[in-house]
Amino acid sequence: MLRRTFLGLLGAAGLGAALGKPAHAAGSQHFQGYPGSFGVLFDSTRCIGCRSCEAGCNRVNELPPPPEPFDDLSVLNTKRRTHWYTYTVVNRYDNIPGAAGPVYKKWQCNHCLEPACASSCFVRAFTKTPQGAVTWDGTVCVGCRYCMIACPFEIPTFEYGEPLTPRIMKCTLCYPLITSGKLTVPGCVGACPVEALVYGKRTDLIKIARERFHAFPGRYLNQIYGEHEMGGTNWLYISGVPFSALGMREDLGVIPAPELTSGALAAVPIVAAAWPVLLTGIYAINKRKDKIARQEEAQAVARAVAQAQAEAEAKFKKAMTKAEAEQKAAIEREIKRALEEAAKGQSQEGE
């Protein structure tokens, strides 16, 4: 058990060590997005925190009315996240060094180029459409909520209150409404009174953002959030204050989520192919070893038996010869005695 287990584990560990870094074979392609896909550019220097976007989204998606009306700006006193009835929220950030007043941020699904939710869904309920939106298909969703675990931006929400038909709820970039022609721009974009949101081709939005940086150098940070984060998103942000001050994570890196698991998944066919051979091999080797052991044992036994037999025979022979000799000697003794007695008797008669 010792040696074999150890060798087996060594093999596993060796394979594992080779998987220590993500396998780059799958990740050497860098997906730049479907050409001509649409996105939204959010400019936090323009946003005034009026929540018209939330109202617009609620209206076009026919979501239930929230507890507080949309013109109640006191909700901005606490930080909110998306919920099953709110695809998007605006949050206010005060006392940021370098900012003259509060800065607002609108948060919703970022429609990543390589979405973690789509990669993680085991029924392919999510689709990254060529138009740019990441959509959810309720006809196959099992409700396992792995997409909620996987999303680095913590966006998808779940109808926990629904007993039998809970849905994943998140921003759809108004994909069904735009493709059916009901809207030309997403509900939030259309509702914004200051065009803090611009809907356009992702490539154009990046160009527009850079033009704004060039035109107003003191106003913006020279970075577009979403250009590279998690491999790139279709919802882009520009701001005059650091993004981390707006509650946006700057430590997500640029590796898209699917690349994080592609290495581990690549190991599956290797295990499926190699393990049976390896294990059968071990079994066969063991069996052969046992067989040889048995053969050697049989041989050893046979040798021992033969040796014992030979010894016994030798011993028997020795005993036999000895017995023969003794018998012969006894007979000779008897003959001698008989002869002596006969001779003695004869001498007595002769007188």
Partner 1 sequence: MNTENPAAKNSLLTPFNVVIGIIFLLGALITFLRFTKGLAGVTNLSDNNPWGVWISFDLLCGVALAAGGYTTSAACYVFGLKRYHSAVRPAILTAFLGYALVVFALHYDVGRPWRLPYPFFVQSGTTSVLFEVGLCVFLYLVTLFVEWTPAALEWLGFKKYRNIIVRGTMALTIFGVVLSTMHQSSLGALYLIVPSKLHPLWYSSYIPIFFFISSIAAGLSMVIFEGTLSHHFLHHKMDRTYLSEHNDVVLGFSKGASLVLACYFLLKVVGVALDNKWHYLLTGYGAWFLVELLGFVALPCFLYAITVREKNLALAKWASVLTVLGIVLNRFNVSWFAFNWQLPPADRYFPSWMEIAISIYIVTIGVLLFRFISTKMPIFYEHPEYREHAPHEGEEEESAHFTEHKLHKHPQTFGH
Partner 2 sequence: MVKGRPLLRWAGFLLVCVATSFFCLEAQGEKAPVKAPAKPAVQAPESGRPDLIKIDTLAPFGKLELPPVTFFHDKHTDVLLKEKKTCAACHLVEDGKLSLSFKRQKATKPAEIKDIYHANCIGCHMDMAAAGKKSGPPDGLCRSCHNAEPPQRVSLDAGLDNVVHFRHVDSKQIPAAAGGKDNCASCHHEFDQQTKKLVYAKGKEETCRDCHLAKPEKGVKSLEQAAHLQCVQCHLDLANQGVKGNGPYLCAGCHGAEGQALIAKKNQEALAKMPNKEVPRLLRGQPDAALITPKPEEGKYVKAAAMDPVAFDHKAHEKYNNNCRVCHHAGMEACGDCHTVAGSKEGGSVTLEKAMHSRSSQQSCIGCHTAKQTSPNCAGCHNHISKASRPEDANCRQCHLPTNLQGAGTLREKLAGLLKPQQAGLAETILKSRKMNPGTYTEADIPETVVLKDLTDKYKPAEFSHRKHVLALMKGMKGNVLAEYFHYDPGTMCQGCHHNSPPAKNPPACVSCHSGDSLQARETNRPALLAALHGQCMRCHKDMGLEKPAATACTECHKEKKK
CB of 162 to partner 1, least distance (A): 5
Site for partner 2 in 7-46 (CB under 8 A): 46
Any contact of residue 219 with partner 2 (CB under 8 A)? yes
If residue 228 lies in a helix (H) or strand (E), which one and from where to where? Answer: none
Q: Residue 34 or 146: which CB sits closer to partner 2?
A: 34
CB of 209 to partner 1, least distance (A): 24
Segment interacting with partner 2 (CB under 8 A) among 106-114, 198-206, 280-288, 314-322: 198-206
Helix ranges (DSSP H) in 216-256: none
> What is the spatial distance between Cα 146 and Cα 150, in angstroms, rounded to a whole number?
6
In this structure, are residues 162 and 84 in contact, taking their beta carbons and an 8 Å threshold? no
Segment interacting with partner 2 (CB under 8 A) among 133-141, 193-201, 291-299, 320-328: 193-201
> What is the spatial distance between Cα 129 and Cα 127, in angstroms, rounded to a whole number?
6
Q: List the single partner that 204 binds among partner 1, partner 2, none, CB under 5 to 8 Å by kind.
A: partner 2
CB of 95 to partner 1, least distance (A): 18
Among 136, 199, 220, 225, binds partner 2 (CB under 8 A): 199
In this structure, are residues 248 and 153 in contact, taking their beta carbons and an 8 Å threshold? no
Number of alpha carbons in the 13 Å side-chain half-sphere of residue 205: 27
Q: What is the three-class DSSP state of 135?
A: strand
Q: Using CB atoms within 10 Å of the CB of residue 326, give its burial: 0 to 12 exposed, 13 to 18 middle, 19+ buried.
A: exposed
> What is the spatial distance between Cα 42 and Cα 184, in angstroms, rounded to a whole number?
17
Any contact of residue 161 with partner 1 (CB under 8 A)? yes
Any contact of residue 214 with partner 2 (CB under 8 A)? yes
Among 13, 194, 306, 342, binds partner 1 (CB under 8 A): 13
Segment interacting with partner 1 (CB under 8 A) among 34-42, 49-57, 148-156, 211-219: 148-156
